[in-house]
Structure 1
Amino acid sequence: MILSPKQQMWSRLLAAVAGGYAFAAALAVFLGAVLPMARAEAVLMGGFVSFAGYTAAIVWAFAPLPLGRVCAVLALATALLGGAGLLLARSGGGA
């Protein structure tokens, strides 16, 4: 499917905002489960680092890469980080 430049821009904006938010949330969950400190401190640190991850995802969404690759990498990273974080948090693993 070939998108017009305007559709490309809006698609990348949607990937940056929605995909970046999902990635940042998954990163916060993962870091909250694996950081070697008290649970409350790990959750706070995961939240702080997720802001940097969100910014990086937004910038990366507008990189000169194919839109499909951008969306696929964001979705895969989100699924892996979120899934691993939830499994570790529920099993009591990590810190």
Structure 2
Amino acid sequence: MTLSFIARPGFSLLSRLLAAVLGGYALASALAVLLATVLSAPRAEAVLAGIQWSFAVYVAAVIWAFSPVSLARIWAVLLALVAALLAASGQLGPGTGG
């Protein structure tokens, strides 16, 4: 079985669209969670700051997904950033113990 469908322009556009929408959303959400977890402001203000920053990061991710960078690099960087942000929020967040 060959993977000739990967070389088609439609696949490239669909992959970039998915990276922009889904990858950008995942990145923005992970940043919002991290900032809401680590900021030393009151809880409501920390959550609001995380959400506000996530809008800017989402727009940057969407723009970058359609830049002339290889698809593999776009997906790799997006997934690595999401994993790193979620791992950091898990490590830096408050403990689950009572």
TM-score by length of 2: 0.86
Runs of 4+ in 1 over 4 A off after TM superposition: none
Query: Gapped runs of 5+ residues in structure 2?
Result: none
Gapped regions of structure 1 (runs ≥ 5): none
Q: Which of the pair has the greater relative contact order for Cα pairs under 8 Å at 6+ separation?
A: 1
**TM-score when normalising by structure 1:** 0.88
Alignment partner, residue 40 of structure 1:
44
Q: Identify which range, 73-82 or 33-42, moves more after superposition.
A: 33-42
**What aligned pairs does 1:1-95 form with structure 2 within 5 A after superposition?**
2-91=6-95
| Cα root mean square deviation, aligned | 1.5
* Equivalences, count: 92
Greater Rg over alpha carbons, structure: 2
**Deviation string, structure 1 residues 10-66 (Cα, Å, up to 9, x no partner):** 110011101111000000011111223112211111011101111111111111011
The answer to whether the 8 Å contact 1:20/1:57 transfers is yes
**Identity across matched positions, percent:** 51
Tell me how far apart the structure 2 counterparts of residues 39 and 86 of structure 1 sit (CA, whole Å): 17
